[in-house]
A and B are shown apart, each in its own frame.
Chain A
């Protein structure tokens, strides 16, 4: 069974503001029957037209979808549209004292419906689903995935699935989702944190790993290869093989590519030396 907070349970069992405002100022629908949850959100502004006077919801979905919907209608009352616009899915989850991670998509559903309701009020045509569909099972686009990754600092596919369902069906899109994650993480965290001080064993392993994963494949493209001979302190002894062994610019390869790469990915103090064959 899910571990729902008392507040989720309470909002599920006694949902606030169920229904549909007939002469609503804004109406937003998100989700679908096929996806397993759907929310129809309506709101009405007060007479001055400044603040949200009332909000109601209709939801098809599980306990946390109903609770998230109930929560958002409560949160909206008394807010200006500008304030309402700033509500994030995380705010909805926080209001409920948190949601199980697998259920975060319920809070995203609430935010989506709210956005659409505000767009509806402003008379902006609902933004056509831009971007490319990545997850065909749940109809999720790359833009939606990018957004949820950035806003919620997601770092793996499972988290993306928990938040927008993408990847939760047949699983064929996992590679594409990983690419999106890599791209975003690559941009935002350029330097991978390295252990402050490597032990000798760690250093040797990391050198080996970097050679295998990064350096060998690119040397091999040109018919060359490299072999690790020894690591002594911060000096890495290697043997160049294949075309590299006879290449006139092998020293440049060694210093400008191999050493640079190892310094970047292992530790900046490294010096690479060639061992004659």
Chain B
């Protein structure tokens, strides 16, 4: 059975070009970049090149790039650095729809003396900007708002928010894990102080991330140890993955146009065909401000895990906002924050595409999903009642 992978916001396949770049690091290029001989120097050189490539994708300078082990480490480092640099401040602003990497850390900090403001979103998943402005205070140490939401793909006005903090002594951090590689980002053009990204969301392997720290931003390391990353992140470099990430960033820049034309068109076709063919279904998130690759669709009166497992029988991979798949009992915090009704939240499926998806794959899903939805609805005690409305 062919796998149709439409879950690229969860993780992506490692690009063949990336793998090719990495393979020597597992064999002949095993030197420690810190060592003082030519054999290791060639690895160090590749590391430097990778740093430049990452910086180039972000419009940053190489010494603003810190390699980490994952997006979560980048987020934790950013937030902890900001609050340690301003120990007198006890307030953090974030949103209600952050990834657990930020959300759970903030909840943890709220039990340890910090006051957290969670900016709400409206029914379309857009941030309440008035609420954000109203809650900024002299006590605010950091604002951490994701660039784009992983579940709905909704893009947040991080440029505007960061700009508003420019004259204030407040750090602005963004979790850009879903945005990097999908939409153009240029750190020269924005006032963002720190930005997190994760390798495996843009066709590099799992286990490598980046924290961008703007020059001049107060910083303190999260992993304390050796002199690596100029003492800002101890630990021997994950050379293979970092070198792979460098290549992946190069590819992302090359594919940016395709991502925003062909992939966007594919996503739009998938979405509109499914909405046409399946009554009582709707998009979650503002269609005008979304990542080009993501669609979140609520299919009313049925439950997401059942949809996923029936798609699984056909080799289709996607994810769900339903409770049952996550192991928790409530539907996703993002959908709840948006006030998506239970009729739809439990039956929400997210499709997220990449440059490896084809027209044929989308055709297949358009053909196969409607009968699955129909079948599950026929089993549902709410379907007849609900559809009569």
- Interface segment out of the listed A35-43, A76-84, A211-219, A266-274: A35-43
A196 interface residue, CB < 8 Å from B? Answer: no
Does the CB pair A40–B328 fall under 8 Å?
A: no
Residue of A62, A102, A168, A169 near B303 (CB, 8 A) is A62
Q: Report the separation of the CA atoms of residues A169 and B309 in the bound assembly, to the nearest whole angstrom.
A: 24
Residue of A13, A60, A137, A161 near B382 (CB, 8 A) is A60
Does the CB pair B302–A60 fall under 8 Å?
A: yes
Residues on the B chain within 8 Å of A29, using CB: 381
Does the CB pair A18–B379 fall under 8 Å?
A: yes
Does the CB pair B303–A161 fall under 8 Å?
A: no
Chain B 327-338 interface 0/1 with A at a Cβ cutoff of 8 Å (1 = within): 111110000000
Residues on the B chain within 8 Å of A66, using CB: 306, 379
B367 interface residue, CB < 8 Å from A? Answer: no
Residue of B313, B329, B330, B343 near A13 (CB, 8 A) is B313
Per the 8 Å Cβ criterion, residues 23-55 of A in contact with B are 29, 33-40
A61 interface residue, CB < 8 Å from B? Answer: yes
Does the CB pair A38–B382 fall under 8 Å?
A: yes
Does the CB pair B303–A34 fall under 8 Å?
A: no
Residues on the B chain within 8 Å of A35, using CB: 329
Q: Given the known inter-chain contacts A33-B342, A168-B330, A169-B329, please indicate yes or no for A58 contacting B322, CB distance below 8 A.
A: no
Residue of A59, A138, A165 near B380 (CB, 8 A) is A59
Residues on the B chain within 8 Å of A169, using CB: 329-330
Q: Report the separation of the CA atoms of residues A34 and B346 in the bound assembly, to the nearest whole angstrom.
A: 9
Q: Report the separation of the CA atoms of residues A103 and B306 in the bound assembly, to the nearest whole angstrom.
A: 13
Residues on the B chain within 8 Å of A224, using CB: none
Closest to B329 in A: A168
A98 interface residue, CB < 8 Å from B? Answer: no
Does the CB pair B303–A39 fall under 8 Å?
A: no
Name the distance in Å between B118's Cβ and chain A's nearest Cβ: 14
B301 interface residue, CB < 8 Å from A? Answer: yes
Residues on the B chain within 8 Å of A13, using CB: 310, 313
Residues on the B chain within 8 Å of A138, using CB: 329
Does the CB pair B305–A63 fall under 8 Å?
A: yes
Does the CB pair B381–A65 fall under 8 Å?
A: no
**Among A18, A33, A37, residue most surrounded by chain B Cβ atoms (within 10 Å):** A33
Residue of A15, A58, A62 near B305 (CB, 8 A) is A62
B126 interface residue, CB < 8 Å from A? Answer: no
Residues on the B chain within 8 Å of A39, using CB: 381
Chain B 106-140 interface 0/1 with A at a Cβ cutoff of 8 Å (1 = within): 00000000000000000000000000000000000
Does the CB pair A37–B303 fall under 8 Å?
A: yes
Residues on the A chain within 8 Å of B381, using CB: 29, 38-40, 58-60
Does the CB pair A137–B330 fall under 8 Å?
A: yes
Residues on the B chain within 8 Å of A165, using CB: 329
Q: Report the separation of the CA atoms of residues A20 and B318 in the bound assembly, to the nearest whole angstrom.
A: 31
Q: Report the separation of the CA atoms of residues A168 and B322 in the bound assembly, to the nearest whole angstrom.
A: 14
Q: Report the separation of the CA atoms of residues A34 and B330 in the bound assembly, to the nearest whole angstrom.
A: 9
Name the distance in Å between A229's Cβ and chain B's nearest Cβ: 38
Does the CB pair A60–B303 fall under 8 Å?
A: yes
Chain B 302-328 interface 0/1 with A at a Cβ cutoff of 8 Å (1 = within): 111110011001000000001111011
Does the CB pair A33–B343 fall under 8 Å?
A: yes
Q: Report the separation of the CA atoms of residues A40 and B381 in the bound assembly, to the nearest whole angstrom.
A: 6
Q: Report the separation of the CA atoms of residues A147 and B162 in the bound assembly, to the nearest whole angstrom.
A: 54
Closest to B325 in A: A62
Does the CB pair B379–A58 fall under 8 Å?
A: yes
Does the CB pair B327–A36 fall under 8 Å?
A: no
B378 interface residue, CB < 8 Å from A? Answer: yes
Name the distance in Å between B271's Cβ and chain A's nearest Cβ: 24
Q: Given the known inter-chain contacts A60-B301, A63-B306, A65-B303, please indicate yes or no for A18 contacting B328, CB distance below 8 A.
A: no
Does the CB pair B305–A59 fall under 8 Å?
A: no
Does the CB pair A18–B306 fall under 8 Å?
A: no
Does the CB pair A33–B379 fall under 8 Å?
A: no
Name the distance in Å between B48's Cβ and chain A's nearest Cβ: 40
Name the distance in Å between B348's Cβ and chain A's nearest Cβ: 12
Closest to B380 in A: A60
Residues on the B chain within 8 Å of A103, using CB: 324
Q: Report the separation of the CA atoms of residues A40 and B384 in the bound assembly, to the nearest whole angstrom.
A: 13
Does the CB pair A168–B379 fall under 8 Å?
A: no
Q: Given the known inter-chain contacts A60-B301, A62-B306, please indicate yes or no for A34 contacting B342, CB distance below 8 A.
A: yes
Name the distance in Å between B147's Cβ and chain A's nearest Cβ: 29
Name the distance in Å between B146's Cβ and chain A's nearest Cβ: 23
Q: Report the separation of the CA atoms of residues A34 and B303 in the bound assembly, to the nearest whole angstrom.
A: 11
Per the 8 Å Cβ criterion, residues 105-122 of A in contact with B are none
Q: Report the separation of the CA atoms of residues A39 and B381 in the bound assembly, to the nearest whole angstrom.
A: 7
Q: Report the separation of the CA atoms of residues A69 and B304 in the bound assembly, to the nearest whole angstrom.
A: 17
Q: Report the separation of the CA atoms of residues A103 and B302 in the bound assembly, to the nearest whole angstrom.
A: 17
Residues on the A chain within 8 Å of B305, using CB: 62-63
Name the distance in Å between B294's Cβ and chain A's nearest Cβ: 22
Closest to A102 in B: B327
Binding site for B on A (CB under 8 A): 9, 12-13, 15, 18, 29, 33-40, 58-63, 65-66, 102-103, 137-138, 161, 165, 168-169
Instruction: List 4 additional A-B contacts (Cβ < 8 Å) besides A59-B381, A103-B324.
Output: A36-B342, A37-B303, A40-B381, A169-B330
What are 22 A-to-B residue pairs whose CB atoms are below 8 Å? A13-B310, A13-B313, A15-B379, A33-B301, A33-B342, A33-B343, A36-B330, A36-B346, A38-B381, A38-B382, A58-B379, A58-B380, A61-B303, A62-B322, A62-B324, A63-B306, A66-B306, A66-B379, A161-B329, A168-B329, A168-B330, A169-B330
Rank and list the top 7 A-B pairs by shortest CB-CB distance, nearest first.
A168-B329, A62-B324, A62-B305, A58-B381, A40-B381, A60-B380, A34-B342
